[in-house]
């Protein structure tokens, strides 16, 4: 299929073909005004100014952008969108003053979601998740990582990962799967955390590898969850099955998550609300992508990751949504970009790059996703006419996305 987008007011996110952008590079968001974009066989084939538009062939589908902007789809490298039902009761508890850790100690949080997920079939979980998939696509996301971690026993973790595989097979969204059995200790192993770690290594990982259900392995390395030593052991075990590590780290306290991530060459370390200068120094000399989740800080009313400090120190940085039922019930990446600007002091270009090319890198996908470079997959959206790219994070609740294209075809949903 051949597709030509004409009359583009601003074409942004073009040209970048690097694995990721670091430090000052993150301010480079290349744009063209009054432009066109040409797509062939689902990939970007060419772009340029409208006056240089070549003669249109008869077999090309022409779409008029009507002066709107065209940007690469968001890449959301941290979500938990396969879950059973909402947790607004805990939302009310937070308003009353309970902390995330206090709610978890009372049997809420992750264990609450695990209890609910246990009761649902794969078909029911899939149906719920696909509504969220449709939602995030319409909000501009074109590539996403989905984590397990609400199973916390062998059968339910397998159930989650099979649902994620089914989403991969039935949606135009690019999906990668992450095994997060070490999200919390399952109820059956209460008080026996080391035995639960053994269960993950000896029982869960071989079963998951047998069905080829995961692309990555993840661990919640934080105060009250898994220790740095347990995290190291789990990542090393996952590596034996070809699963590269990722880490939830430094959300609630300085936990050693960054240190283990760098030591084990994890692809990303996410959250980082409590990271310190030592963590920043460690990340300078690694290929691990620090990933901020500003929606979590907003919803839990907790500190934001030090994004401005990371970029000024020369680090790469990604932004993701953390879409989940407890701490971030939103997959709106446009809002995450706004929060990164407002609360983390990123410039708009930096925040957009963090949510596209760098978040693609945090999933190992930046060769094909995250920018509108020639040869990359044609995932992009068309906005209403806007005065500048800065308007996107500025107008933080304005629904500006008008049309969405994935793999070079317009997304119409169900």
Annotated binding site for N-formimidoyl-L-glutamate: 150, 324, 326
Give the residue numbers of the binding site. 78, 80, 87, 150, 183, 248, 251, 322, 324, 326-327
DSSP 223: T
Nearest-angstrom CA–CA distance, 217 and 181:
8
Nearest-angstrom CA–CA distance, 295 and 353:
17
In DSSP notation, 91-141 reads HHHHHTT--HHHHHHTT-THHHHHHHHHTS-HHHHHHHHHHHHHHHHHTTE
- 413 near 134, Cβ under 8 Å? yes
**Two tokens, residue 384:** 């209403």
Nearest-angstrom CA–CA distance, 47 and 35:
7
**CA 58 distance to own-chain centroid:** 39
Give the residue numbers of the binding site for Zn(2+). 78, 80, 248, 322
**Two tokens, residue 135:** 């939602």
251, 120, 128, 125: which is closest to 183 by C-alpha? 251
**Two tokens, residue 219:** 């661990």
Give the residue numbers of the binding site for 4-imidazolone-5-propanoate. 87, 150, 183, 251, 327
**H-type alpha helices, 213-289:** 228-239, 257-263, 277-284
- 319 near 301, Cβ under 8 Å? no
Q: How many CA atoms are closer than 13 Å to the CA of 98, on its beta-carbon side? A: 17
Nearest-angstrom CA–CA distance, 262 and 245:
10
- 14 near 8, Cβ under 8 Å? no
What residue has token string 């809420």? 108
Q: What Å distances lie between residue 227 and 211, 273, 329, 410, CA to CA?
A: 28, 17, 27, 45
Nearest-angstrom CA–CA distance, 40 and 56:
13
């Amino acid at each position: 299929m051949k597709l030509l987008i004409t009359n583009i007011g601003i074409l942004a996110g073009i040209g970048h073909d690097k694995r990721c952008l670091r430090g000052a590079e993150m301010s480079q968001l290349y744009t063209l005004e009054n432009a066109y974009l040409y797509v062939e066989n689902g990939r970007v084939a060419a772009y340029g100014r409208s006056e240089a538009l070549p003669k249109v062939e008869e077999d090309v589908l022409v779409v008029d952008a009507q002066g709107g902007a065209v940007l690469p789809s968001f890449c959301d490298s941290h979500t938990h969108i396969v879950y059973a039902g909402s947790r607004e009761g805990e939302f009310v508890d937070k308003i009353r003053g309970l902390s995330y850790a206090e709610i978890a100690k009372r049997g809420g949080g992750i264990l609450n979601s695990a209890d609910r997920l246990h009761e649902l079939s794969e078909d029911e979980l899939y149906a719920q998740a696909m509504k969220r998939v449709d939602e995030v696509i319409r909000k501009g996301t074109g590539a996403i990582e989905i984590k397990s971690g609400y199973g916390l026993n062998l059968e339910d973790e397998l159930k989650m990962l099979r649902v994620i595989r089914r989403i991969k097979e039935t949606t135009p969204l690019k999906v990668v799967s992450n095994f997060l059995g070490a999200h919390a200790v399952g109820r059956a192993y209460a008080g026996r955390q080391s035995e639960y770690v053994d269960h993950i290594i000896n029982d869960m990982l071989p079963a998951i590898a047998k069905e080829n259900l995961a692309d990555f392995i993840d661990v919640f390395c934080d105060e009250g969850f898994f220790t740095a030593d347990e995290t190291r052991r789990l990542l090393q075990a996952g590596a034996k099955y070809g699963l590269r590590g990722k880490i939830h780290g430094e959300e609630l306290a300085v936990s050693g998550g960054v240190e283990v991530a760098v030591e084990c060459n994890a692809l990303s370390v996410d959250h980082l609300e409590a990271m310190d200068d030592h963590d920043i120094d460690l990340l300078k000399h690694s290929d691990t992508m620090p990933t901020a989740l500003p929606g979590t800080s907003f919803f839990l009313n907790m500190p934001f990751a030090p994004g401005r400090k990371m970029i000024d120190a020369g680090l790469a940085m990604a932004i993701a949504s953390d879409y989940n039922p407890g701490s971030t019930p939103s997959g709106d990446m446009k809002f995450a970009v706004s929060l990164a600007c407002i609360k983390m002091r990123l410039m708009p270009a930096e925040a957009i790059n963090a949510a596209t090319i760098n978040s693609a890198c945090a999933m190992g996908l930046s060769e094909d996703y995250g920018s509108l470079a020639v040869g990359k997959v044609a995932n992009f959206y068309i906005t209403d006419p806007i005065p500048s790219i800065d308007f996107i994070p500025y107008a933080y609740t304005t629904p500006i996305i008008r049309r969405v294209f994935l793999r070079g075809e317009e997304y119409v949903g169900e």
